């Protein structure tokens, strides 16, 4: 039996989580779900966005499914990542049928460093002149994430890893990142290695996304590029993510809490369901992951039950039910 922490969070997180758990139930998994609170509404109720009980729940689980956080995202997701040393953020970008994808053959993984860079709250401070943020790059953390990217490529039959940086301007920090990348690349002679500046990469994602297989980059750049990837394939509602670390794993859709449509059953459940697929693979439940992945693909391919962001008229639960019926 696997212990799964379930944190619906804010806004549409509750809806897509409910839909996803309903679909997972049809797989007859040996899961024990325990629910926890976190996010904006939790802050209003309890005075803290991430209660100790919720953090302990995640720490004592085999994996965590997380819905969405609103304005408190930095106090919730970033803190969970740091507390549990979830150093790798995986964001697959893949084109699906019957979506607004700009291309039909996009399929790459963004491997983003999760623990340092610009996203360290204690390193951002107000000054008399305004404010200042300090960017942290360490050899240990960057070598770990770069090696993870090459190992991912090796395990998933990917032939190329691309490092993304801005070493021409950030000569010390990104200069170190680039240096470490090629040091690690020498250990994987069967995998092609290349590097691009982040601004050039932003252009190549639009002009030639098929050339990418695995992208490895630092925290801020990975965050921005993965949202560009979502636009590339048609919707934030299609992008799942995984946070993998030394002490646990958390799986969440890339989209936020979307308060403008919360409670209206308009949210696309696909990203949350694909996050569940990533969780199943992490738990080595490969057959179940393949079944769910295939059921999602079939519903998208048929195009009968799609949410509004995909040009359809189905609501969150109708689309999820169609996926469930295809298992």
Cβ distance 160 to 193 under 8 Å?
A: yes
* Catalytic-role residue among 25, 45, 182, 199: 199
Closest listed residue to residue 50, CA positions, set 41, 191, 24:
41
Active-site pick, 166, 178, 266, 324: 166
**Are both 144 and 229 inside the same structural domain?**
yes
Same domain, 227 and 297: no
* pLDDT at 121 (0 to 100): 62
Per-residue pLDDT of 64-103, as tens digits, reads 999 999 999 888 988 898 889 899 999 999 999 988 888 9
Catalytic residue among 174, 223, 309, 324: 223
- CATH code at position 63: 3.40.718.10
Single residue among 181, 203, 233 that ends a domain in this structure: 233
Based on the residue annotation, tell me whether 199 is a catalytic residue of this protein: yes
Say whether 30 is catalytic: no
**Structural domain of residue 12, as residue ranges?**
1-87+240-327
Say what the pTM is.
Answer: 0.91
| Active-site choice (227, 291, 293, 298) | 227
Q: Are residues 106 and 142 in the same domain?
A: yes
96: annotated active-site residue: no
Q: Is 35 a catalytic residue?
A: no
Last residue of a domain, one of 233, 256, 271: 233
Whether residue 155 sits in one domain with residue 220:
yes
Is 227 an annotated catalytic residue?
yes
Residue 124: its pLDDT value, please? 84
Our count of domains for the chain comes to: 2
pLDDT by residue for the chain (327 residues), tens only, comes to 999 999 999 999 999 999 999 999 999 999 999 999 999 999 999 999 999 999 999 999 999 999 999 999 888 988 898 889 899 999 999 999 988 888 989 999 999 999 899 887 677 889 999 999 999 999 999 999 999 999 999 999 999 999 999 999 999 999 999 999 999 999 999 999 999 999 999 999 999 999 999 999 999 999 999 889 988 988 788 899 999 998 899 999 988 899 999 999 999 999 999 999 999 999 999 999 999 999 999 999 999 999 998 889 999 999 999 999 999
CA distance 201 to 263: 37
């Amino acid at each position: 039996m696997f212990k799964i922490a379930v944190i619906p969070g804010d806004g549409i997180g509750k809806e897509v989580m409910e839909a996803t758990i309903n679909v997972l139930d049809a797989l007859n998994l040996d899961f024990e779900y325990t629910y926890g609170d976190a996010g904006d509404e939790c802050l209003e109720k309890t005075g803290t966005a991430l209660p100790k009980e919720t953090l302990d729940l995640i720490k004592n689980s085999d994996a965590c499914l997380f819905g969405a956080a609103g304005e408190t995202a930095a106090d919730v997701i970033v803190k969970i990542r740091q507390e549990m040393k979830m150093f790798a953020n995986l964001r697959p970008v893949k084109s699906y049928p019957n979506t607004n994808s700009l291309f039909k053959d996009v399929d790459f993984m963004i491997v983003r460093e999760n623990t340092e860079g610009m996203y360290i709250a204690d390193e951002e401070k107000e000054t008399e002149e305004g404010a200042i943020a300090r960017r942290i790059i360490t050899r240990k953390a960057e070598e770990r994430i770069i090696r993870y990217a090459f190992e991912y490529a090796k395990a998933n039959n990917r032939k190329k890893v691309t490092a993304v940086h801005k070493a021409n301007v950030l000569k010390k920090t990104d200069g170190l990142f680039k240096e470490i990348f090629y040091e690690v690349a020498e250990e994987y002679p069967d995998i092609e290695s290349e590097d691009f500046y982040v601004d050039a990469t932003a252009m190549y994602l639009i002009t030639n996304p098929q050339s990418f297989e695995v992208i490895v980059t630092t925290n801020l750049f990975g965050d921005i590029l993965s949202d560009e990837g979502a636009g590339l394939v048609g919707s934030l509602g299609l992008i799942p993510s995984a946070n993998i670390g030394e002490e646990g794993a958390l799986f969440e859709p890339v989209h936020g809490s979307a308060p403008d449509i919360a409670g209206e059953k308009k949210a696309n459940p696909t990203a949350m369901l694909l996050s569940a697929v990533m969780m199943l693979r992490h738990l080595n439940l490969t057959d179940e992951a393949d079944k769910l992945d295939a059921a999602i693909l079939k519903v998208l391919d048929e195009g009968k039950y799609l949410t509004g962001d995909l040009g359809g008229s189905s609501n969150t639960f109708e689309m999820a039910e169609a996926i469930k019926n295809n298992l």
